[in-house]
Amino acid sequence: MADQVKIMILSGAREQGKDMFAVQVNDEIFVLDAGLKYPDSSLFGIDVVIPDMEFFAQYGDRVAGIFLTHGHADSIGALPYILRSNNIPVFGSELTIALAKIDVKRENKTIKNDLFHVIDAETEIDFKNASISFFHTTHSIPDSLGIVVHTPAGEVVYTGDFKFDPSAAKNYHTDMDRLAEIQTKNVLALLADSSNAEASFPSASEQDIGKYVTNVFRNAKGRIIVAAKASNLNRVQEVLNAAQSAGRRVLLTGRDVAKIVRTSMKLGYLEVPDGLLMRVKDLKTTPDDKTVILETGRMGEPLNSLQKMATKRHSMIRIHDGDLVFIATTPSHSVETMVAETSDLVYRAGGRVIQLGRNQHTSGHATGRDLQILIDTLKPKFLFPVIGEYRLMEIAKDLAIKAGMDKDNVFIAQNGDCYNFDFKKQRFYLTDPVPGEDTMIDGSGVGDVGNIVLRDREILSDDGIFIAVVTIDRKKKKIIAQPQVTSRGFVYIKANHQLMRDSIQVIKKAINANFEHKKFDWTELKQDIRNDLEKFLYKQTNRRPVVLPVVMEVNQNRHRAMQKKNEAKADTSNKKPGHVKQDTKTSVKTNKKTRKNTEVKSKKEEKKD
């Protein structure tokens, strides 16, 4: 049987986050990363978005393992949902596996530890059809790894999130010697991080950023509230170092940062001097000029927590005069508006804001020059730009062509694309797609919110809902009670009484027309009410609320009541004389009638007297 090599783009192409790719060698599939992304404002009520879980339903029995590059949510966030129904081995560095277990345990109280395997850059794992090895990369979290899949056609290299920084600390350093070694083994394809490809100048070194943070801390007069992502351990370490240098103590807030910091300290990836950390109760006794509050917020996103602090809704901390809010993360384009709103609220509360990204060019991702250096080092035959929006992937393609690659050997893929390698022609070509849609997580539901539900939520957010409740007698063809109408998010009812009264007449007219001209059908009746109300409300208000008609029938259970009554009569006739049990409701009814007749008779007698 001839060898087969496929590259599957499961998620993470033409978007930021939610990284997941796969390489298939014959009948084995090797999944590279399993991440999530946080929703934008168009996904109403959605908590997180993960790759298409249908892939594991179709191909789960062929998946040999999931291989993780680093411990950020865009690499490990989908694991809890995958491992709910799939017993797939997971491989990653010591810190990555520790953070993955925290994520999995948050969603699944019981985890199977035997599924998790700690590896390092020196590890090579042999499978039936291929082998997997790793190499050190530089990112904002220690022990990040790139992945190499050794296939019969050559090496398939996946970088994960990476950048080049020669001054990076030991646990963050890229192994350039290893990259040169991989190049000698014929690199067939490179799946490269393109999320910062449009950066035209180099990122500041972490040493320079550390000095800048220390300088900010030393010049601050009051409290310092730092907003950072919990999983950006590089930045957390710089904050801890700066606090110690400035003679301040640090309070960690947020469950994410506490768990991640404790885990990293335990494994030796964070250096925290004794006495540097404090508890909430120490805030009252520690002077403002000796205090640093490190806030990460829910799931590592600190901006919501900052807004609560500024508007006095936070459970522990309130921003007051003299506070410095230091935003130590570079926000993505999608949250820049939220950063501006948060800064405005901080200033209103009496604080001031310094954004690290405004004064230093920081990123954990490769610049365009870094990408060209990587291409020149590995010399891949084919390039798949991934981990980036469409424009960034196109920029990465242009950079690769300038670095000497053939434009026909650079593929701008999309989620769901599957590329098969033709050994004879030495080319990749598109074959049948694989599942590549979004799976949306809302509460405990996985994938139960789709485009239809989101469309309804969008309409509700635009024009609200209008509810009409009416009770009818289908057999008598009449409306039993006056229709009741109400709305939420549509109009202020107290100021629109006439609109509500007119809508009731529209409902009545629709029901009567249905009784007169159509054979009764529940679906048609509700649809007629909905259509007539939608036309009327739009004509009156130029708005299109969601119209929800609720139609009830008064006699729908009459035959059941009659049947029970007949059964009761039959039981009475079968019983022996002297043991007849009178129906309670009938007895009460008779007693009331007798009592009424007696009262009437008494009044007549009094009148005669």
Query: Is there a binding annotation on residue 461?
Result: no
CB under 8 Å, gap of 24 or more: what pairs does 573-582 form? none
Residue 575 falls inside a structural domain = no
The alpha carbon of residue 228 and the mean position of all alpha carbons in its chain are separated, in whole angstroms, by: 19
Residues 38 and 174 in one domain: yes
Domain boundary among the residues 332, 355, 378 is at 355
What one-character DSSP code corresponds to residue 583?
P
322 in a labelled binding site: no
pLDDT, tens digit, 9 for 90 and up, residues 442-492: 765 565 565 666 666 666 777 888 999 999 887 888 888 889 998 888 887
pLDDT at 602 over 80: no
Same domain flag for 183 and 81: yes
Does 392 map to a domain?
yes
Same domain, 41 and 109: yes
176 burial (CB, 10 Å; 0-12 / 13-18 / 19+) is middle
For residue 378, what are the domain limits? 5-201+363-446
Q: How far is it, in rounded angstroms, from Cα 460 to Cα 482?
A: 26
Judge if 24 and 167 occupy the same domain. yes
Among 355, 387, 408, identify where a domain stops: 355
> Is 41 a known ligand-binding residue?
no
Q: What is the rounded average pLDDT of the residues 538-561?
A: 79
Q: Same domain, yes or no, for 304 and 420?
A: no
- Which amino acid appears at position 20 of this protein? M
Confidence of residue 557 (pLDDT cuts 50, 70, 90): low
Domain at 429, CATH number: 3.60.15.10
Looking at the 3D structure of the chain, how many domains does it have? 3
Whether residue 585 is contained in a domain is answered as: no
pLDDT at 582 over 50: no
- Enter the tokens of residue 525: 């009746």
Residue 150 in marked binding region: no
Answer yes or no: is 583 within a domain: no
For the cut 60, the answer to whether the pLDDT of residue 111 exceeds it is yes
Rounded to an integer, the average pLDDT of 287-311 is: 84
582 part of a folded domain: no
60 with 141, same domain: the answer is yes
Asked if residue 608 belongs to a domain, the reply is: no
> Is residue 267 within 8 Å of residue 101, measured between CB atoms?
no
pLDDT band at 566 (very low <50, low <70, confident <90, very high): low
Q: Which residues contact 498 (CB under 8 A, 6 or more apart)?
A: none
Q: Which of 446, 470, 486 is the last residue of a domain?
A: 446
170 and 32 inside one domain: yes
228 plus 331 within the same structural domain:
yes
Task: Provide the CATH number for the domain around residue 337.
Answer: 3.40.50.10710
Residue 330 burial class via C-beta count within 10 angstroms: exposed 0-12, middle 13-18, buried 19 and up = buried
Query: What's the confidence (pLDDT) of residue 552?
Result: 87
Claim to verify: residue 112 and residue 171 sit in the same structural domain: yes
Residue 467, Ramachandran bin (φ over 0: left; ψ between -120 and 50: alpha; else beta): beta
CA 396 to chain centre: 27
Q: Which of 55-64, 441-450, 480-489, 577-586 has the highest mean pLDDT?
A: 55-64
Residues ≥6 apart with Cβ < 8 Å to 20: 10, 11, 12, 31, 32, 33, 34, 35, 51, 78
Instruction: Give the model's pLDDT for residue 481.
Output: 82
Two structure tokens written together for 492:
């202020």
Q: Is residue 599 part of a domain?
A: no
- Enumerate the H helices of 220-313 as residue ranges: 233-245, 255-267, 303-310
Percent residues over pLDDT 70 in the chain: 85
Question: Are 164 and 37 in the same domain?
Answer: yes
Q: What residues contact residue 476 under an 8 Å CB cut-off, 6+ apart?
A: none
579 labelled as ligand-binding? no
Give yes or no: residues 145 and 39 share one domain. Answer: yes
Q: Same structural domain for residues 407 and 341?
A: no
Nearest by Cα to 293 from 225, 220, 213: 225
CATH of the domain at 491: 3.10.20.580
> In 3-state terms, what secondary structure has residue 151?
strand
* pLDDT tens, residue by residue, 223-262: 999 998 888 899 999 999 999 999 999 998 876 677 888 8
For residue 563, tell me if it sits in a domain. Answer: no
pLDDT at 17 over 50: yes
Residue 557 DSSP label = T
